[in-house]
């Protein structure tokens, strides 16, 4: 039997070719596209504006790699963490983060991760698969609906900061941003989307060559090669000098300001000497710095630093005219905070969860 193709790998022109092959009128392609990306259809049967015969033809030749919600938790601070099943039975997690100023969807780009950063729960899992563009868009669509139904508001931001390294799933990541921002898709401004990377210099340069319009964040966490290599193996092949050069190239190509993410650990990278190194590195491009409170993970070797040290660290940077934000953790009680996704070994155990609604 012929294997069915994932219809969401096709763009609008590809769907027009399909309609010709199926002896259907070409305008049906746009209808199908809208059902897939604007109306979030999970099956061809839901595409009620299409004839029954066309739906049957599509069913016979294609499948839709739509995510299925497996579990959902709501934190005491209203953060929502969702576990989704992929079509091949893997589990990924996406998070809706409400604050007074933003409603942010944090989504995953891979199942697991190959980079093994020491402070990240996902890094303790092996890389199992790259997510498709559709699977990334599905997370946004579901979290957008949760923002609307539970909090009566719209998404303000999308961050690719969940499971996985987006730049190691480059083509699918880029396609997903195109679908999120296009008029035929979700119509979200690219300036409300941020791609976060652990730091792959050649791919940062490729982002510049592709003249992307979304924002770029670098998970820096130390502006010292020895310290950064201790917590992030990727630094051995993408050291700070190579990243500095790639960021300068990216900024020259796009004109975009970079965000440096800096998780602050007790007695590791929280001293004023570390702040001085960060300030020096930050001179390379226009930037802002997000200081992120560390969130414990199972068997982690790090601890949270004190609020006083965080504040002193931020004050040092601000005195050097840097833009600094302190990101307090949200969703820690449901393992939804930064670095905690898949902290339960990528298996959602119902008996360990309290599902609130």
Closest residue by Cα to residue 161 from 210, 127, 223, 110: 110
C-beta contacts of 250-256 below 8 A and 24+ residues apart: 250/204, 250/205, 250/207, 250/208, 250/216, 250/285, 251/208, 251/285, 251/286, 252/208, 253/208, 253/209, 253/211, 254/207, 254/208, 254/211, 254/212, 254/213, 256/215, 256/216
Q: Please, are residues 304 and 296 in contact by the beta-carbon 8 Å criterion?
A: yes
Task: Examine the residue annotation and report whether 93 is marked as an active-site residue of this protein.
Answer: yes
The two structure tokens encoding residue 343: 């902290």
Burial 82-96 (b: 16+ CB within 10 A, else e): bbbbbeeebbbbbbb
C-alpha 349/C-alpha 12 separation (Å) is 40
Task: Examine the residue annotation and report whether 120 is marked as an active-site residue of this protein.
Answer: no
Nearest 5°: the CA angle 39, 194, 242 is 140
- Contact partners, residue 154, CB within 8 Å, separation at least 6: 103, 144, 147, 148
SS3 189: coil
C-alpha 103/C-alpha 287 separation (Å) is 22
Spot the catalytic one: 106, 117, 120, 338.
Answer: 338
Spot the catalytic one: 24, 82, 93, 165.
Answer: 93
Q: What is the dihedral of CA 269, 270, 276, 280, to 10 degrees?
A: 50
Known catalytic residues?
93, 338
């Amino acid at each position: 039997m012929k294997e069915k193709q994932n219809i969401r790998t096709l763009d609008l022109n590809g769907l027009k070719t399909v309609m010709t092959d199926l002896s259907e009128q070409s305008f049906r392609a746009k209808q199908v596209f809208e059902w897939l990306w604007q109306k979030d259809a999970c099956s061809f049967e839901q595409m009620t504006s299409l004839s029954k015969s066309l739906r049957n033809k599509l069913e016979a030749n294609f499948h839709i790699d739509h995510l299925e919600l497996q579990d959902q938790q709501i934190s005491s601070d209203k953060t929502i963490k969702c576990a989704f099943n992929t079509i091949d039975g893997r589990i990924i997690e996406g998070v809706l983060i409400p604050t007074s100023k933003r409603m942010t969807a944090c989504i995953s780009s891979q199942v697991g991760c190959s980079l093994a950063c020491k402070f990240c729960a996902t890094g303790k899992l092996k890389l199992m698969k790259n997510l498709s563009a559709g699977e990334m868009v599905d997370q946004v669509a579901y979290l957008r609906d949760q923002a609307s139904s539970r909090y009566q508001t719209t998404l303000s931001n999308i961050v690719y900061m969940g499971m996985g390294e987006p730049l190691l799933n480059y083509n699918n990541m880029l396609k997903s941003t195109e679908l999120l921002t296009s008029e035929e898709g979700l119509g979200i401004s690219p300036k409300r989307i941020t791609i976060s990377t652990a730091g792959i210099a050649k791919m940062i340069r490729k982002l510049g060559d592709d003249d992307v319009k979304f924002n770029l964040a670098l998970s820096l966490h130390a502006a010292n090669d020895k310290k950064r290599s201790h917590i992030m193996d990727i630094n051995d092949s993408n050291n700070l000098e190579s990243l500095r050069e790639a960021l300068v190239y990216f900024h020259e190509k796009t004109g975009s300001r970079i965000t440096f993410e800096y998780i602050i650990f007790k007695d590791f990278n929280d001293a004023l000497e570390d702040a001085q190194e960060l300030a020096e590195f930050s001179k390379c491009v226009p930037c802002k710095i997000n200081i992120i409170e560390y969130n414990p993970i199972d068997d982690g070797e790090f601890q949270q630093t004190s609020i006083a040290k965080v504040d002193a660290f931020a004050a040092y940077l601000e005195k050097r005219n840097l833009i600094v934000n302190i990101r307090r953790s949200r969703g820690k009680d449901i393992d939804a905070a930064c670095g905690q996704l898949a902290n339960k070994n990528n298996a959602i155990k119902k008996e360990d969860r309290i599902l609130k609604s």
